[in-house]
């Protein structure tokens, strides 16, 4: 099994080290991760500056690259340059500090790297920890390889990936895991106004949880009850088929020349 590791917390992040520890004895590992933190970058791609992959030292002679770009850049560079002749079987991202439950997946760089892999027909799994401060990576580590192996042995469908979240430290030792539905909650903006020494106002974006009435089987709900959650997400066909069927004929007639029909 050949696995590409990436993340959005940066090449030196503790979560990435624990992810590597969990998988290094079971697979051929290559790491390509951002040079610094790229949280919230989603599927952002660098187009206005050059990218510089840099080999760095890693334990047990694991091949590791630091890249001055986003997680999506890391996967693009891995697939088209760094691992062009030896592509991975699977991409694994994380372990992110902070939850990626609910609609946070739409903003997450941790998930963004996985989606880029799916676009290139390589399945992937994103791992995140509920706690932003002092995440219990050591408690999550034993569960990572069994999850990866299960979905390696039982292949993820084309166009799908898995979004895994570990609950808060208060639920250690973790005991149960459930397949879940993606929840509705997400981290929304919470701008903090500050004053520049020159007298101008500026803002530190910040964030606060925007909660919803969640389904009991959503990842948001299950995490709050202490379960490890795994949500299958499909990104191959993102068409709203119901809306398409409803408007296909009406929209097609919107700019049609009535006179040509009468002829």
pLDDT score recorded for residue 259: 56
pLDDT score recorded for residue 213: 86
Closest to 232 in 3D by CA, of 166, 174, 158, 171: 158
Quick check: 191 and 179 in contact, CB under 8 A? Answer: no
User: How does DSSP classify residue 181?
Assistant: B
Q: Which residues contact 212 (CB under 8 A, 6 or more apart)?
A: 102, 183, 184, 185, 220
Question: What's the predicted TM-score (pTM) here?
Answer: 0.90
Q: For the chain, which residues make up each domain, given as ranges?
A: 2-184+215-262
Classify residue 65 by burial, with Cβ atoms within 10 Å: 0-12, 13-18, 19+.
Answer: buried
Quick check: 160 and 232 in contact, CB under 8 A? Answer: yes
Helix boundaries (H) for 125-229: 137-153, 219-224
The SS3 call for residue 22 is: helix
Phi, psi (deg, nearest 5) at residue 47? -125, -10
Return the beta strands (E) in 135-262 as ranges: 160-166, 177-179, 186-189, 192-195, 201-204, 207-210, 228-234
Q: Domain 2-184+215-262 is of which CATH architecture?
A: 3-Layer(aba) Sandwich (3.40)
pLDDT score recorded for residue 114: 97
**Cα–Cα distance measured from residue 82 to residue 80, given in angstroms and rounded to the nearest whole number:** 7
pLDDT score recorded for residue 169: 95
User: How does DSSP classify residue 68?
Assistant: S
Over the chain (263 residues), the average pLDDT of each successive run of 10 is 96 97 96 94 94 96 96 97 96 96 94 96 97 94 96 93 96 94 85 90 84 89 96 93 92 75 54
pLDDT score recorded for residue 227: 96
Enter the tokens of residue 128. 């995140």
Q: Which residues contact 103 (CB under 8 A, 6 or more apart)?
A: 182, 183, 184, 185, 186
pLDDT score recorded for residue 254: 85
**Cα–Cα distance measured from residue 230 to residue 131, given in angstroms and rounded to the nearest whole number:** 17
Quick check: 154 and 139 in contact, CB under 8 A? Answer: no
User: What are the pLDDT digits (tens) for 47-84?
Assistant: 999 999 999 999 999 999 999 999 999 999 999 999 99
């Amino acid at each position: 099994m050949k696995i590409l590791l990436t993340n959005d917390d940066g090449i030196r992040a503790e979560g990435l080290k624990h992810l590597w520890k969990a998988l290094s004895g079971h697979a051929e590992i290559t790491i390509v991760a951002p040079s610094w933190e790229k949280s919230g970058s989603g599927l952002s791609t660098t187009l206005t500056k050059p990218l510089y992959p840099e080999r760095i030292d890693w334990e047990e002679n694991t091949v590791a690259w630091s890249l001055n770009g986003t997680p999506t850049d890391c996967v693009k560079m891995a697939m088209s340059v760094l691992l062009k002749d030896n592509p991975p079987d699977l991409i694994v991202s994380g372990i992110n500090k902070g939850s990626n439950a609910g609609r946070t997946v739409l903003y997450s760089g941790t998930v963004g790297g996985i989606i880029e892999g799916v676009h290139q027909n390589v399945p992937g799994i994103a791992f995140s920890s509920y706690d932003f401060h002092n995440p219990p990576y050591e408690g999550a580590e034993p569960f990572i390889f069994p999850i990866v192996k299960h979905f390696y042995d039982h292949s993820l469908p084309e166009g799908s990936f898995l979004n895994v979240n570990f609950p808060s430290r208060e639920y250690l030792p973790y005991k149960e895991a459930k397949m879940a539905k993606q929840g509705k909650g997400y981290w929304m903006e919470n701008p903090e106004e500050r004053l520049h020494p020159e007298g101008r106002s500026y803002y530190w974006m910040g964030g606060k949880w925007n909660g919803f009435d969640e389904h009991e089987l959503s990842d948001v709900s299950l995490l709050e009850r202490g379960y490890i959650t795994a949500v299958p997400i499909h990104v191959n066909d993102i068409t709203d088929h119901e809306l398409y069927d409803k408007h296909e004929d009406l929209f097609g007639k919107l700019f049609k020349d009535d006179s040509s029909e009468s002829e």
